[in-house]
Amino acid sequence: MARRAQTGSGRLSRGLLLLWALLGTGLCQAGAEPEGFNQDARTSPPVAMFNWTAQLVEETYTNITQKCWEFFVDLMRNVTASELCEWKVISRPYSLLQACLEGWADHLRYGYPNALAEQYIFQSHHRYFHNCTLEHQVYFDPPEDVLLAMIIAPICLIPFLVTLVIWRSKDGKAQP
């Protein structure tokens, strides 16, 4: 088997993906006039720049997560319906989706977990794994009123039993 040549640490591919996302949003277009270099922009407070940057990061992350989802869907095309609930088969695509969502959030300093990543995770469960059931029966806690009765009954019974033992031992007659 021929060995695959290594292309580096993956920074190049991440950089290209980020560039592609920026080009796709229309933020990096040739011949476009740069915004924000007029007199008003120089005197505006730094908060306005921060809001624009946060919006850019959110928009970039939204575009990248869409590509993460499309890659996951492409990987899941190779999984048959009978294999959808087998962790050995789906762990790789599922882990790659999570790593992509989390990795790009960390790279962009967007914060993880976030609502968009959770949406894609829930969407994957709804679309692919909603018919998966556990082989073993799952035990749930009883309702609170039953649980409270099960806790209080022995506690109340103990003083009664202690009183009964003391009362019977004071009788003075020898027990055969």
125 assigned to some structural domain: yes
The pLDDT of residue 98: 95
The pLDDT of residue 48: 45
Mean per-residue pLDDT pooled into runs of 10, the chain (176 residues): 44 50 46 42 45 82 95 94 89 94 92 92 91 70 90 92 88 60
137 assigned to some structural domain: no
When divided into structural domains, the chain yields a total of 1
Q: Which domain holds residue 73?
A: 63-77+104-129
Q: DSSP letters along 28-51, please?
A: S-TTPPPSS-SHHHHHS-HHHHHH
The pLDDT of residue 171: 67
The pLDDT of residue 170: 80
- DSSP 8-state secondary structure symbol assigned to residue 108: T
112 assigned to some structural domain: yes
73 assigned to some structural domain: yes
pTM: 0.49
